[in-house]
Copies of this chain bind each other. A is one copy, B any other.
Amino acid sequence: MTSSIILRIVPFMGSVLALIMSVIFILMIGKKSRGNKRMQEISDAIFLGSRAYLTQQAKIMLLFFIVIEVLLFAMVKFKFLQYASLLAFATGGGFSLLIGYIGMWISTKTNSKVTQAAKDKGLGEAMNIAFTAASATGLLLGVVALFDTSFWFNILYWWYGRGTSDLISNLDNVVNILVTFTIGASFAAFFMRTGGGIFTKAADMGADYVGKVESGLREDDYRNPATIADNVGDNVGDVGGMMADSLESWVGAIISAEFLGFLAFKGSTLIINSILLPILISTTGVIASITAMFFIKIIVRRYKQNASVSLLTTTTLSGLLITSVIIIILTFFTTRFVMGIENIRIFYSCIGGIFAGFLIGLFTLIYTDSKYRPTRNIAESANSGPGTLVVNGLAYGMESTILPALTVIGAMIFSFYIAGGSSDLRIGLYSVAISAVAMLSVSPFVIAIDVYGPIADNSGGIAEMAELGPEVRKTTDKLDAVGNTTAAIGKGILIGSAAITAIALGQAYFSKIETLNIKLIIDFMKDPKILAGLFIGVIMPYLFTSLLIGAVGRAANKVVIEARKQIKDVIAGKSKGDPKAFITIVTKAAQKGIILPGILVFLIPVIVGLLLGPGGVVALIIGTLLSGFAQAIFMANSGGAMDNAKKKIEEEGRSGTPEHAASVVGDTVGDPLKDTAGPSMNILIKLISVVSIETAVLVITLSGKIFH
Chain A residues packing against B (C-beta within 8 Å): 205-206, 209, 213, 381, 383-388, 390-392, 394-399, 401-402, 405-406, 408-409, 412-413, 416-417, 422, 425, 428, 432, 503, 506-507, 510, 520-529, 531-532, 534-536, 538-539, 542-543, 545-547, 549-550, 552-553, 556-557, 560, 618, 622-623, 626-627, 629-630, 634, 664-669, 671-673
Contact = CB atoms under 8 A, between A and B. Distances in A.
Given A398-B543, A668-B387, A405 B634 contact: no
- How many copies of this chain? 2
B387 A531 contact: no
Nearest to A543: B402
A665 B668 contact: no
A420 to B, nearest CB: 11
Contact of A525 (B522, B629, B634, B672): B522
A213 B627 CA distance: 37
A626 B538 contact: yes
A512 to B, nearest CB: 12
Nearest to A553: B392
Nearest to A380: B557
Q: A interface, by DSSP: helix, strand, loop or mixed?
A: helix
A216 B503 CA distance: 54
A104 to B, nearest CB: 26
A546 B399 contact: yes
B557 A395 contact: no
A409 B549 CA distance: 26
12 contacts: A209-B387, A384-B560, A385-B668, A386-B665, A387-B665, A387-B669, A406-B536, A413-B528, A522-B526, A524-B524, A525-B618, A538-B627
Residue among A395, A413, A422 having the largest count of chain B Cβ atoms under 10 Å: A395
B626 A401 contact: no
A539 B668 contact: no
Contacts of A522: 522-526
Contacts of A385: 209, 213, 665, 668
Contacts of A507: 525
B556 A394 contact: no
Contact of A395 (B391, B406, B550, B623): B550
Given A398-B543, A413-B532, A532-B413, A205 B520 contact: no
Nearest to A661: B386
B672 A391 contact: yes
A307 B397 CA distance: 46
A669 B390 CA distance: 7
A388 B557 contact: yes
Of A387, A526, A556, chain B has the most CB atoms within 10 Å of the CB of A387
Nearest to A527: B422
A553 B668 CA distance: 20
Nearest to A390: B669
Contacts of A521: 521, 523
Contacts of A425: 526
Which of A413, A428, A546, A671: most chain B Cβ within 10 A? A546
Contacts of A524: 522, 524, 622
B538 A416 contact: no
Contacts of A397: 546
Contacts of A422: 526-527
Nearest to A623: B626
Nearest to A403: B539
A641 to B, nearest CB: 12
Nearest to A507: B525
B383 A560 contact: yes
Contacts of A618: 525
Contacts of A627: 538, 626-627, 630
Given A395-B549, A538-B538, A538-B627, A664 B413 contact: no
Contacts of A531: 409, 412, 503, 622
A572 to B, nearest CB: 22
A396 B553 CA distance: 11
Contact of A384 (B209, B381, B398, B412): B209
Nearest to A621: B525
A392 B206 CA distance: 14
Given A209-B388, A385-B668, A409-B532, 14 more contacts: A205-B391, A384-B556, A387-B665, A394-B549, A395-B550, A395-B553, A402-B542, A405-B535, A416-B528, A521-B521, A523-B523, A538-B626, A542-B634, A665-B665
B535 A408 contact: yes
Given A209-B385, A399-B542, A535 B626 contact: yes
A510 B525 contact: yes
A183 B139 CA distance: 57
A501 to B, nearest CB: 14
A388 B671 CA distance: 10
A387 B392 CA distance: 15
A646 to B, nearest CB: 11
Which among A527, A531, A545, A553 has the greatest number of chain B C-beta atoms within 10 A?
Answer: A553
A661 B506 CA distance: 47
Interface centre among A425, A545, A618, A626 (most CB of B within 10 A): A626
A669 B394 CA distance: 9
A108 B311 CA distance: 61
Given A395-B545, A521-B523, A528-B416, A630 B539 contact: yes
Contacts of A552: 391
B390 A665 contact: yes
Nearest to A560: B384
Contacts of A398: 542-543, 545-546, 549
A568 to B, nearest CB: 16
A576 to B, nearest CB: 24
B622 A534 contact: yes
B391 A553 contact: yes
A400 to B, nearest CB: 8
B528 A412 contact: yes
A492 to B, nearest CB: 16
